[in-house]
Amino acid sequence: MLNWKEVRRLATEGNHPPPRTVRKTEAEWRELLTPEELHVTRMHGTERAFSSEMCAVFEPGRYACKCCDTPLFDAATKFDSGTGWPSFGEPLTPEVVAYVMDRSYGMERVETLCNVCEAHLGHVFPDGPKPTGLRYCINAVSLRKMT
So what's the pLDDT on residue 104?
A: 82
Per-domain boundaries in the chain:
4-146
Is 105's pLDDT higher than 90? no
**Annotation says 137 is catalytic:** yes
The tens digit of pLDDT for each residue in 46-102 reads: 999 999 999 999 999 999 999 999 999 999 999 999 999 999 999 999 999 999 998
pTM of the model: 0.95
So what's the pLDDT on residue 106?
A: 85
Domain 4-146 superfamily per CATH: Peptide methionine sulfoxide reductase. (2.170.150.20)
User: Which residue among the candidates 65, 68, 117, 137 is catalytic per the annotation?
Assistant: 137
Rounded alpha-carbon distances, angstroms, from residue 76 to 61, 63, 68, 116: 8, 11, 22, 22
The neighbour count for residue 32, using CB atoms within 10 Å, is 12
- Please indicate whether residue 105 or residue 55 has the higher confidence score (pLDDT): 55
Alpha-carbon 127 to chain mean position = 16
- What DSSP designation does 99 have? E
